[in-house]
Structures are given as structure tokens and as C-alpha cells.
Chain A
Amino acid sequence: MPYSPLLVKPMRDELTASGVEELLTAEDVDRWMTEGSGTALLVVNSVCGCAAGMARPGVRAALDEGPRPDRVASVFAGQDLEATARARAHFPDIPPSSPSLALFKDGELVYFVPRHRIEGRSAEDLAADLVGAFRQHSGAASEVPA
């Protein structure tokens, strides 16, 4: 059963404040998944403690450090049920978990962090993993500093 929208709003705002687009309907998800090429990070948000303590702060830190994916969006598991189900349909072989993080490149899933790889870690460690994946798939890893 979804929580009160009032309770969940700060958990949504924490990501939207970093420029993460909220996908509230299945149509939103379909549009976002097909609207462009390049790298795209999808955050499966959640009310649980590891979303608050690790996933959202880790995503924010990774986006701040960059290279930022071309597009970043979120669905909220347990709240926006239709949007979350449609998002998970884009990686049907992966068991559902939340929070979780999916990085796409040109529409193809290239990196995935399930809940159990978020639990018990620090936001800093998660951010470092994400930055590594952003660099690898954005091509930034091949750039040689001057």
C-alpha cells in the first residue's frame, strides 16, 4: 500500500533537486526510454532506509561529480506502481529490487546496481562506483588529462 504522498514528498524532492526527472506514469517511462540516445540513469527510488542513507545521497554525489549521464530519471517503487512496473519491463531478466539503479547507453542496459549492492555501504562508496560507470560508458575514461 502506498505511503502518504506528504510523507514521500521529501524523498522525491531529494532527487528532483539534483535535476532528476520523475516518471509518474507508464507513458512517462516509455517516452523517457525512447526520447534520446546517449547515457541514461534510472533510479528506482524507495521509502526504505538504504534509499535514504545510501542510494539517494550516493546518486546526488555521483551526479555532482560527473560526468553526468545525458538523462537522469526516477520511478518510485511502492508509490508509482504503474511507472515502476513499466520501468522494470525494460530489464525483465533482473529480479525487482528497490532501491536500485540502471544505467542505459543508447537504450541498452549496461550497468545495474541491485538493492543488495547498496545495503550496508556508504553513500560515498556507491557514488564512487556510479562515477566509474558514468566515466566508462560516457567515454570519459578514455580521455587523457592534459
Chain B
Amino acid sequence: MGTFHQDRHPLHGITVVVATSGGDGAPEVYVGRCDDIDAERVILLDADAHRDGDGGHSNDEWVRRAAEYGVWPRHPRVVLPRARVASVQPLGEVSATTPSS
């Protein structure tokens, strides 16, 4: 479903939502353009992030807002350890009006 780079993960080039465990803190969610996913890490480009509860918004609320128009590219490159990643989902599959899965 991604773009024409056969050496990359199928989601290469696709804007994705990455839910993480958050480590010691609240769960974090990232939205960015998937560069690659391998056994060790998930790499996002032009990404933004949200920690559950920040600004009074849950992660679901923040993702639904992102699903409407996208996110500002606050982080040019984000590398997430695969062990922290709970799920990866194309943002285009998230409804802007109903809770994300």
C-alpha cells in the first residue's frame, strides 16, 4: 500500500499513527510519515507527538483531530524502539469523528 521502494516496509511513505507504551509515563502517540519499520525500530519523518492527558486531551482525541487535517511536522525524524510500540495504523484509516481503535 506504500510507495515504490521495494526495500522498505509496506507502510513506507504512508502517514501512520504509532501508539506506544510511554515507558515510565503516560502512553504517547505519534503521527508521522513512515520511513521504515524493522525488528528494532519504527522510524517516522515529519512527525508530531502527544502524551495522554496533555492539554486536557486524551490520545484518542488528539488522533481524531490529526485525522481531520494532519499534524504539524514538529519532529523531522523520530526513531521509536519497537519494544515500546503497541500498534501502527495508517492515519487515513482513522475516522475524524469516532474513537480510534
* Interface residues in chain A, defined as those with a beta carbon under 8 Å from any beta carbon in chain B: 48-50, 93-97, 112, 114-121
Q: Restricting to B18-45, which residues have a CB under 8 Å from any CB of A?
A: none
Q: Which residues in B have their C-beta under 8 angstroms from that of A121?
A: 92
In the assembled complex, which residues on chain A have CB atoms less than 8 Å from the CB atom of B71?
95
Q: Report the bound CA distance from A119 to B92 in whole Å.
A: 7
Which residues of chain A have C-beta atoms less than 8 A from B14's C-beta? Answer: 116, 119-120
Instruction: Determine whether the beta carbon of A97 is less than 8 Å from that of B70.
Output: yes
Q: Which of A50, A95, A120 lies in contact with B69, CB distance below 8 A?
A: A95
Q: Is the interface of B mostly helix, strand, loop or mixed?
A: loop
Name B residues whose Cβ lies closer than 8 Å to a Cβ of A.
1-4, 13-15, 67, 69-73, 90-92
Q: Which of A48, A112, A115 has the most CB of B within 10 A?
A: A115
Closest 5 CB pairs of A and B: A49-B3, A116-B15, A116-B91, A114-B70, A95-B70
Minimum CB–CB distance for B38 against chain A, Å? 21
Beyond A49-B13, A50-B13, is A120–B1 a contact (Cβ under 8 Å)? yes
Which B residues lie within 8 Å of A94 (CB)?
69-70
- Which chain B residues border A48 with CB–CB below 8 Å? 3, 13
Smallest Cβ distance from B70 to chain A, in angstroms?
4
- Known contacts A49-B3, A120-B1; is-contact A115 B72 (Cβ 8 Å): no
